Amino acid sequence: MCGIFFSLSASEHVLPKEKTVTWLRNRGPDNHHVHRVQLSSDLANETVYLTFVSTVLGLRGDHITPQPLVDPKSRSVLCWNGEAWKVFGDTVQGNDTEQVFQRLIEAAKPSDGSNGHNHDDDECRVGSASKTLVRLTNVINNITGPFSFVFYDGFHQRIFFSRDCLGRRSLLHSLDEDGTLRISSICDGASSTPFEEVETDGLHMIDLSRIISMQGNDPGMTKLPYQMEVIPWSHEKSPTLSMKNPIPLMNPALPTSQPPALTLSSPSVERLEHELRRSLETRIRDVPLVGTEPNAKIAVLFSGGLDCTILARLAHDTLPVNEPIDLLNVSFENPRVAAALKAKSQKENTEMGSIYENCPDRITGRAGHAELQRVCPGRVWRFVAVDVPFTEFTLHREEVVQLMKPHNTEMDLSIACALYFASRGQGTIDSNTTTAAAAGPEAYTTTARVLLSGLGADELFAGYGRHGVSFSRSGFQGLIDEIDLDVGRLGKRNLGRDDRVISNWGREARFPYLDEDFVTWATQTPVWDRCGFGTAKLEDYNNNNNNNNNNHKDDLDQIGESLDSEKKALRLLALKLGMTQTAREKKRAIQFGSRTAKMESGRTRGTSII
């Protein structure tokens, strides 16, 4: 995880405000550096000012690689925030930023070996620029993993910036009235114009050589004449330059008859396990240790729900058994809920109990923790109870509001607050973390810098209530359309906001369900092999296939038959992994499970603007 800030100005080097620098350094506490570039016109005494700021959270390789990376020969610069798991199909060993930068430099280098912008023949320069543009897009197209970046091609005086096609890393942009362009991981308070998310529609490019040329022809120019070009992600071959979208279109197939029952022995359940194990292993392999044993390297944003508990269970099979795994479970003191519970306890003359332990996600979290201890008894599972009093929520509220911008609704605040405090990882654990019996709580803050999130499972496997509604109204076509809509808007609706909030604590969220290969498999798998809507009953299927010889079902098949249709394949995987209770857990939105919804007023709507 890193922090990026870039500015382009006609008047001076523009740096981020002090508070913005603090947020950037929170994202990347291991390194902070500023790099400046001035470009002058040969036709007039005009200058364009480029300012690059990067902070670094070191999670790859055996050393910290300072950013921005600079190539002295070409003056090219890279600010990178992401994880390149593979480049051109090869697994990246060591530091990914250095490898990506070298690939970009080689791609940008003019074919004739010149410095590009200093070439005497303009036609040759343009031809070289066009060829290198093809090579550059090819490099971006062959990076597997979450990323956002700003790259200055010093050979041809071009700025490139982009997010991956799913939008798993934050990148915002703003163009002020004075013509100053800012691109940043977070909103910069210095900007007079609101920031917007950089769209996940492709690679954005600004040709600075054109701007400088226009400045030279108009010496009185005070506002830079931007011409933004976008090289799009595309699912089809295009006559113009484009990049192949790594996520194919949703499988549109509709069943010609009622699909068979989804069971433990279904091929899609086996393939789901294989693909998820591979994705998870990529994200938790070789994470550096902070401090000494028995510090945790990996933590899970843990509600005790289906998606996150499966990740914890599979992580157990990948990590050495002597490495603890922290389970971060957040619970809020919601004044409205606390008042209702107090009134009920007084009316019934009973003990009110802990407001935090009565929280829905705390209840399921404790149950999920106990099930993990039962199924994986050799592992130290630290259940980190993150309790947030209302006064503390109030104290941090404005900070969260600023971090999540440009998102600005009550629902955004509810979700962002839950992720903000959970990712802080500060709470209590039982003194004896190896047994279910608590020896008393003690203060604890996780040392893990990598946080696993279950985001994406609901979108891919039909986990929301609206998916069932879509199926009941419009059958499989309606269900496919709703899932396609959800997957397509993840970057705009969730991921940038979540990245900005979580990374403020110097931790990186990783999303195994949003691995490119995993998403490709899921979107290409028929929808009835991912969820149970519209599939046959197991008994009918067995009868039709003459498999009902024993007159009774296996115990696990009986449990599987009773599971909800939402995310049925994932529920069956949990059952296969020995987690019967987890397989039955209902979907519950984070803002309701942690009780961040309507913290200040019961009359607000989720869509209300803050």
* DSSP class per residue in 41-95: -SSSS-EEEEEEEEEE---SSSS---SSEEETTTTEEEEEEE---EETTEEPPS-
Q: Does the pLDDT value for residue 244 go beyond 90?
A: yes
Residue 345: how many other CB atoms lie within 10 Å: 13
On the question of a cis peptide bond just before residue 377, with omega within 30 degrees of 0, the verdict is no
Look at residue 121 and tell me whether its pLDDT is greater than 80: no
Q: Which CATH code is given to the segment(s) 2-112+119-244?
A: 3.60.20.10
DSSP string, 179-216: S-EEEESS--TT-SS--EEPPSSEEEEEEHHHHHHHHH
- To the query of whether residue 376 is one of the catalytic residues in this protein, the response is no
Residue 529 neighbours by CB under 8 Å, 6+ apart: 259, 262, 266, 267, 268, 569
- Residue 586's alpha-carbon distances to 307, 472, 479, in angstroms, are 11, 19, 19
What's residue 341's pLDDT?
80
pLDDT digits (tens, 9 = 90+) for 489-543: 888 889 999 999 999 999 999 999 999 999 999 999 999 999 999 999 876 545 5
Domain with CATH 3.60.20.10 in the chain: 2-112+119-244
Report the alpha-carbon distance of residue 508 to residue 56 in Å, rounded: 11
Percent of the chain with pLDDT over 90: 71
Is pLDDT at 544 greater than 80 in this prediction? no
Phi, psi of 99 (to 5 degrees): -70, -40
How far, in Å, CA of 531 to CA of 526, rounded? Answer: 9
Domain 267-455+494-541+549-598 CATH class label: alpha beta
pTM to 2 decimal places: 0.92
Residue 608 is predicted with a pLDDT of 78
Instruction: Tell me what the pLDDT averaged over the chain comes to.
Output: 89
CA 269/CA 572 separation, integer angstroms: 7
CB 599, CB 334: distance < 8 Å: yes
282: CB partners within 8 A, 6+ apart: 85, 515
Q: What is the DSSP letter of 321?
A: T
Residue 391 in tokens: 């006064």
pLDDT at 215: 52
User: Cβ(459)–Cβ(521) under 8 Å?
Assistant: no
Sheet bearing 143-144, strands edge to edge: 90-91, 86-87, 143-144
The answer to whether 471 touches 534, Cβ cutoff 8 Å, is yes
Supply 199's token pair.
């769209």
CA–CA gap between residue 259 and residue 250 (Å, rounded) = 18
Q: What is the DSSP letter of 288?
A: P
Which residue is catalytic, options 2, 165, 308, 417? 2
Tokens of 527: 């929808």
Q: What pLDDT, in 10s, does the model give residues 274-310?
A: 999 999 999 999 999 888 888 999 999 999 999 999 9
Local confidence band at 145 (pLDDT 50, 70, 90 cut-offs): very high
**Mean pLDDT of the region 128-134:** 81
Per-residue pLDDT of 88-103, as tens digits, reads: 999 998 899 999 999 9
Q: How far apart (Å, rounded) are the C-alpha atoms in residues 254 and 240? A: 33
Nearest-angstrom CA–CA distance, 440 and 588: 29
Q: Residue 437 — very low, low, confident or very high, per pLDDT cuts 50/70/90?
A: very low
* Contact assessment for residue 438 and residue 430, using Cβ atoms and an 8 Å cutoff: yes
Q: Where in the chain is the domain with CATH 3.40.50?
A: 267-455+494-541+549-598
Q: Calculate mean pLDDT across residues 29-34.
A: 96
Q: Categorize the per-residue pLDDT at 125 as very low, low, confident or very high, splitting at 50, 70 and 90.
A: very low
DSSP string, 388-442: E-HHHHHHHHHHHHHHHTT--BHHHHHHHHHHHHHHHTEEEEES-TTSSS---EE
Q: What is the pLDDT of residues 341-387, one digit of tens each?
A: 878 777 777 776 789 999 999 999 999 999 999 999 999 999 999 99
pLDDT value at residue 294: 87
Is the bond preceding residue 225 a cis peptide, omega within 30 degrees? no
